[in-house]
Amino acid sequence: MTQATSSTRRTSSIADGELSALSARDAIVAIRERRLSATALLDACFARIDAREPTIHAWSHLARETARERAQFADEALATGTVLGPLHGLPIGVKDVFDTNDMPSEYGSRLFRGRQPEADAAAVAVLRQAGAIIIGKTTTSEFGMYHPSPARNPLDPTYSPGVSSAGSAAAVVDEMVPLALGTQHTASTILPASFCGAHAFKPSFGFTSMDGSNILVPRLAHIGFMARTVEDLCLFASAFDPTLATAHIYVSRPPRLAFVRGPGWDQVTTDADDALRNLLATLPIAIDTVELPVDFDHAVKVSFGLLNAHLAHRFGDLPSQSFADLCPPLKAGVAEGKTLSAPDYLELDAAADRMTAATSALFAHHDALVTLSAPGEATRLEDGPGSGVLAAPWSLCGLPTVSLPLLHGRKGLPIGVQLIGQRGFDRKLLQSATWLVRTCQNHSSKRA
Amino acid sequence: MTQATSSTRRTSSIADGELSALSARDAIVAIRERRLSATALLDACFARIDAREPTIHAWSHLARETARERAQFADEALATGTVLGPLHGLPIGVKDVFDTNDMPSEYGSRLFRGRQPEADAAAVAVLRQAGAIIIGKTTTSEFGMYHPSPARNPLDPTYSPGVSSAGSAAAVVDEMVPLALGTQHTASTILPASFCGAHAFKPSFGFTSMDGSNILVPRLAHIGFMARTVEDLCLFASAFDPTLATAHIYVSRPPRLAFVRGPGWDQVTTDADDALRNLLATLPIAIDTVELPVDFDHAVKVSFGLLNAHLAHRFGDLPSQSFADLCPPLKAGVAEGKTLSAPDYLELDAAADRMTAATSALFAHHDALVTLSAPGEATRLEDGPGSGVLAAPWSLCGLPTVSLPLLHGRKGLPIGVQLIGQRGFDRKLLQSATWLVRTCQNHSSKRA
């Protein structure tokens, strides 16, 4: 992993084949110093995509021509001394649930095949404003839910990349783009990051506008950031909140961490449990354990109840030939949702409110909670897309979370460490994440 | 009606019997100028209450001792030159759906008889902070819904005072207090103001925190202000938003008004319709007519659907002996709400979103819409509490509204003119209201 301080050395002589492997931060520095053009970086990314996409299926659309025009514009602007923004010239992938005015936005659904929005989603507009080059739309589970997407795990294509921002996680880990945008209602950012080995950041609820994305349950709709380093997560998210640009720099003291088992911990594999315990044991700080209020036992049920109610509202009245086009798990969700009464729905919503309120107390003495991002390594494709049970409760309560690929299971595939912050304290969470990654790096370099 | 400029003259020699009839603004001026003590004003209000309460039933609790202590404190503070806030020493009534730490808060319900909250509601705390003396809790329909309260119409006790902030409207109009706080989910401020002849202001949704009040449907829960003049509404609301303190002063040009029929206009009586047409015809400005999008035909049904769903969630699981204590219309609402499915509920919520979004266009060329506050004069007690159908759509969409007692029906009872403003433009609405009241006053004084 590249430290910010080593950027210049690392990028002083960039071989063509290494370009697409550059971290976003290294690429930005190289572009600003005119040692690298946005166009060359873009070409390298497309070359990598051309080589790997037939195996990985990370992309549902690519905007080769408009991306190239914009990269040229970024290079010309810089030649006149104009920096377009913090992401000047960076190639970025966007999950195909965000509207884009130059590419279809199909939600991974046959129902919306060929749908061309008129305007960019709010988040896409922010990224373009920040100087990013949106090179394509990444593959997603249908409506960001349940069903596997076409994407494959870049570490081993016979394994699941998780759901639903699978294309974004795969594209980043496979070095097709340094950064990619995802979303999360329950686990859609954290789970694929864990399975593919990406660094991911799902901010607090309300972090930015979700206008122009497939908001299924308003209270669960989050943006998600995928990158290959924590520093790049800070850079990426700083396009939306400039206070995050320096979160990785000012890490003055070790965070106060507490280990937490979430609901669904019974699904955790022995090797994942052991790996996390071992990692926590090596840390130079004491790690408390916190217990969740009993209400949280229902967190996953509440999340899926809310999802199914909204699925039934959204798709319950479709004409039968359109309904037939939905993937089986969405159909099942619609059927489930139709069995709920209005008071049932309001009780789910009220339960979510109660759990959310109860989370504040968890941070009275801790900066972040630490747990697993997923119950274990990536599942084999034929075993389904994996379980988001360990991420769903935090998404339900709108807490910011990160997934850091610091663990491995017995098959050698990554398992994410999930850090959970207090709602609204996203910067502090990224500081805790930076500390944890650096401490683990120091530890492994000493062992090596 | 007293103009601000005439305050000094009017209050320079205040007879004891006139004290409780003072407008809030006149009382404030007299108190600040030390021509009137908060204690004397309080005593006058209690004397009026003692004389009239056996007929009017405006109060469910009175805090005679704590109110007197606080009035003395206000007088002592002023003697040292300390003004506690914009409502220094003013006696105020608060609808019994707001929590008060010195009086029970029973929501007008047998289920909550004797309930003593530990803390003040957010709005009550704001009023106390502004120097107001909360003298008691005003009677309310059970949970602010549907059923008549014990209050009687102060203009004729054989008539309904409307629902549900009936005690607050009656107490203000009957000169028991200059100001009283109400709430509104559908029509609970505008309807009683219309029936009793109060001036009322229901601000935009989100105007202030409703914490510590009986929020039944979060998206419908509004605060409501009752007074006897528009100037007093501005003063009252300025405790929450200081920009409103001067809304009645800077009225530079006639507002651009448009007449609107709401859904339920078929319930409007001929005399009410005629009275509004006549008033609009006398105004020195052209009044357009705007048509509502067809979606609004369902506004009342959507409002009551949301209410019933939440009633079913809140009371649907009560033990049968408690459920039996609820008034019949609440029981009926619970039964209705139980028949709704979760997707039905979400469709009601989505319909409310669509209507709310559509309201912005109504204000493209107008400062305020003008309509009736109620379909006609107050109903006789035996004919039920009256219909809130003309207020409900604006409450559903979170638009600010005022009711001004500018019309009379054929029985000589008042009918409110309802002005509707754009969401978030409360100050502009109060300016339009000030212009309308002053223009009508000038008109009547010329005729007289």
Three-class SS string for A205-234?
A: CCCCCCCCECCCCHHHCEEEEEECCHHHHH
3-state secondary structure of A397: coil
Q: Average pLDDT for residues A48-76, to the nearest whole number?
A: 98
Compare all CA atoms of chain B with the CA of A314 and give the residue at the minimum distance: B343
A335 lies within 8 A of chain B by CB: no
For B309, the closest of A313, A338, A343 (CB atoms) is: A343
Chain A within 8 Å of B428 (Cβ-Cβ)? no
A353 shares contact with chain B (CB less than 8 Å): no
Instruction: Supply the pLDDT for residue B17.
Output: 61
pLDDT for position A139: 98
What are the residue ranges of helices labelled H in A17-63? 24-32, 38-56
Tell me what the mean pLDDT of segment B392-405 comes to.
Answer: 98
The answer to whether the Cβ–Cβ distance between A342 and B340 falls below 8 Å is yes
As a whole number of angstroms, the distance between CA A96 and CA A420 comes to 26
**Cβ of A346 and B316 within 8 Å?**
no
Provide the pLDDT for residue A1: 34
- Nearest chain A alpha carbon to B347: A313
The model's pTM = 0.87
Give the closest residue to A261 by CA, choosing from A408, A387, A389, A355. A389
Mean pLDDT of all residues belonging to chain B: 94
* Cβ A179 vs Cβ A172: under 8 Å: yes
Task: Look at B313 and A337 and tell me if their CB atoms are within 8 Å.
Answer: no
Q: Which residues of A touch B312 (CB under 8 A)?
A: 341-343, 346
Interface test with B, best of A341, A344, A347 (most B CBs within 10 A): A341
Test A338 with B340 for CB contact under 8 angstroms: no
Mean pLDDT of A192-212: 97
Residue B356 is predicted with a pLDDT of 96
- Position of tokens 């319950």? A316
Q: Would you say residue A396 has pLDDT above 90?
A: yes
For residues B235 and B32, is the Cβ–Cβ distance under 8 A?
Answer: no
Q: Is A354 on the interface with B (CB under 8 A)?
A: no
Which chain A positions have a beta carbon within 8 Å of B346's beta carbon? Answer: 309-310, 312-313, 345
Share of chain A above pLDDT 70, in %: 96
Residue type, position B374, single letter:
A
* Alpha-carbon distances of A258 from A169, A433, B139, rounded to whole Å: 27, 13, 50
Q: What is d(CA A273, CA A376) in angstroms, rounded to the nearest whole number?
A: 8
Cβ-Cβ contacts under 8 Å, A316 against chain B: 343
A348: closest CA of chain B, how far (Å) = 10
The predicted model gives B255-262 an average pLDDT of 96
pLDDT beyond 70 at B74:
yes
ipTM over 0.90: no
A347 contacts in chain B (CB < 8 Å): 313
A333 has a chain B CB within 8 A of its CB:
no
Strand spans (E) along B320-435? 368-372, 401-408, 414-421
Q: Could you tell me if A338 lies within 8 Å of chain B, comparing CB atoms?
A: yes
User: What's the distance, Cα to Cα, between the start and end of chain B in Å?
Assistant: 15
pLDDT band at A15 (very low <50, low <70, confident <90, very high): low
Show residues of chain B in contact with A352, CB under 8 Å.
Answer: none
Query: Which band of pLDDT confidence, cut at 50, 70 and 90, is reported for residue B6?
Result: very low
Confirm or reject contact between B350 and chain A (CB < 8 A).
Answer: yes
Q: How far apart are CA B382 and CA B148, in angstroms?
A: 10
Judging contacts by C-beta atoms under 8 Å, the chain A residues touching residue B347 are 313
Least confident of A359-373, B63-77, B250-264, B339-353: B250-264
**Position A446 confidence tier, pLDDT thresholds 50, 70, 90:** confident
Report, as an integer, the average pLDDT of B426-445. 93
CA distances from B439 to B197, B434, B445 (A): 18, 8, 10
Can you tell me the distance from the alpha carbon of B325 to that of B328, in angstroms, rounded to the nearest whole number?
9
* pLDDT over 90 percentage in chain A: 92
Quick count: other Cβ atoms within 10 Å of Cβ B270? 10
Give me the residue from B313, B337, B346 closest to A313, CB to CB: B346
- A345 vs B: CB within 8 A: yes
Summarised one tens digit per residue, pLDDT across range A227-266 is 999 999 999 999 999 999 999 987 778 999 999 999 999 9
User: Which residue from A351, A317, A357, A355 is spatially nearest to B346, judged by alpha carbons?
Assistant: A317
**Candidate list B20, B149, B164, B387, residue with the active-site label:** B164
pLDDT averaged over every residue in chain A: 94
Distance from CA of B359 to the nearest CA of A (A): 19
**What pLDDT is stored for residue A443 in this prediction?**
81
The DSSP secondary-structure symbol of B294 reads G
Average pLDDT of the segment spanning B387-405: 98
Return the residue in A211, A217, A313, A339 with the most chain B beta carbons within 10 A, the one to mutate for interface testing. A313
| Residues of A known to be catalytic | 95, 164, 188
pLDDT of residue A16: 58
Residues A72-100: what's their mean pLDDT? 97
Interface check B309 vs A, CB under 8 A:
yes
Under a CB-based contact definition with an 8 Å cutoff, are residues B140 and B328 in contact? no
Instruction: Give the DSSP letter string of B219-279.
Output: GG-EEEEEESSHHHHHHHHHTT-GGGGGTTT---S---EEEEPPTTGGG--HHHHHHHHHH
Contacts A–B by Cβ distance under 8 A: 55
Cβ separation B338–A341 shorter than 8 A: yes
Q: Is the model's pLDDT at A52 over the cut of 60?
A: yes
CB contact under 8 A, B312 and A342: yes
Which band of pLDDT confidence, cut at 50, 70 and 90, is reported for residue A17?
low
In angstroms, the Cα distances linking A78 to A32, A73, A131, A132, B174 are 8, 9, 11, 13, 73
Q: How many CA atoms lie within 13 A of B175 on its CB side?
A: 14
pLDDT of amino acid B443 = 81
CA gap B201, B189 in Å, rounded: 8
Amino acid identity of A159? Y
Average pLDDT for residues A257-285, to the nearest whole number?
Answer: 97
Q: Does pLDDT of A4 surpass 50?
A: no
With beta carbons under 8 A apart, name residues in chain A contacting B338: 341-343
- Given a cut of 80, whether residue A10 has pLDDT beyond it is no
Phi, psi dihedral angles at B69 (to 5 degrees): -60, -40
Confidence of residue B244 (pLDDT cuts 50, 70, 90): very high
Query: What pLDDT, on the 0 to 100 scale, is given for residue B146?
Result: 83
pLDDT for B7 beyond 50: no
CA distance B351 to B300: 11
Identify from B211, B313, B347 which residue to disrupt to test chain A contact, counting A C-beta atoms within 10 A and taking the largest count: B313
Q: Which domains does chain B have, with CATH numbers?
A: 4-246 (3.90.1300.10), 257-447 (3.90.1300.10)
B342: nearest CA in chain A? Answer: A342
Say which residue the tokens 């003395």 belong to: B72
pLDDT tens-digit profile of A130-182?
999 999 999 999 999 888 999 999 999 999 999 999 999 999 999 999 999 99
Residue B252 sits at the chain A interface (C-beta within 8 Å): no
Q: Does A218 touch chain B (CB under 8 A)?
A: no
Q: Closest to B313 (Cβ–Cβ): which among A310, A313, A346?
A: A346
Confidence of residue A65 (pLDDT cuts 50, 70, 90): very high
Instruction: Give the span between the Cα atoms of A152 and B104, in whole angstroms.
Output: 63
Interface with chain A: mutation pick from B341, B347, B356, highest number of A CBs within 10 Å? B341
Q: Over 90: is that where the pLDDT of B444 sits?
A: no
B-chain CB neighbours of A343 within 8 Å are: 309, 312-313, 316, 337-338
Q: What is the pLDDT of residue B3?
A: 38
Q: Is A108 on the interface with B (CB under 8 A)?
A: no
Q: Mark yes or no for CB contact A342/B347 under 8 Å.
A: no
